[in-house]
Amino acid sequence: MNPANYLLLSGVLFTIGTVGVLLRRNAIVVFMSVELMLNAVNLSLVTFSRLKGTLDGQVIAFFVMVVAAAEVVVGLAIIVTIFRTRRSASVDDANLLKY
């Protein structure tokens, strides 16, 4: 097996995450799909690191993990705040800015 095949797996996982963001209505599940996309990109970064023989890819994957952690903390706080005021976690109900 060619070691670059991990890139194909990463692409497939990223696509599934994209479809999840488009399909799901629950804000938390949409968020998990975004996490899946970030994880897929991390896999491709680690694979690139191995293909090129330098550790820069792993360092960038590490940064992606840190930024993802910060994003999850703030995003979940926003979801909880919206749920408190509107009693719903559906992304369709948060439409105050629409009209």
Partner 1 sequence: MTTVLAQGITHTTGWESAIFYVLGTIAVLAALGLVLARSAIHCALMLVVVQFCLAVFYFVQDAPFLGAVQIIVYAGAIMVLFLFVIMLIGIDSSDSLVEVLRGQRVAAVVLGFGFAGLIVFPTGSAIAGTTAVGLDSANGVGNVQGIARLLFTNYVFAFEIVSALLIIAAVGAMVLGHRERAPRPTQRELSEQRIAGEHPSAWTGPGVYADHDAVDSPALLPDGSPTRASLPENMSQDDIIDVIERVGIEK
Within 23-82, which residues bind partner 1 (CB under 8 A)? 23-26, 28-29, 31-33, 35-36, 39, 42-43, 46-47, 49-56, 58-59, 61-63, 65-74, 76-81
CA separation for the pair 40, 2 (Å, rounded): 18
CB 16 → partner 1: shortest distance, Å?
4
Q: Token pair 């692409």 is at which residue?
A: 11
Q: Kindly state whether residue 11 participates in binding partner 1, applying the rule CB under 8 A.
A: yes
99, amino acid identity: Y
Q: Kindly state whether residue 19 participates in binding partner 1, applying the rule CB under 8 A.
A: yes
Contact 61, 42 (CB under 8 A): yes
Of residues 70 and 97, the one with the C-beta less far from partner 1: 70
Q: Kindly state whether residue 89 participates in binding partner 1, applying the rule CB under 8 A.
A: yes
Nearest residue to 10 via CA among 50, 66, 70: 50
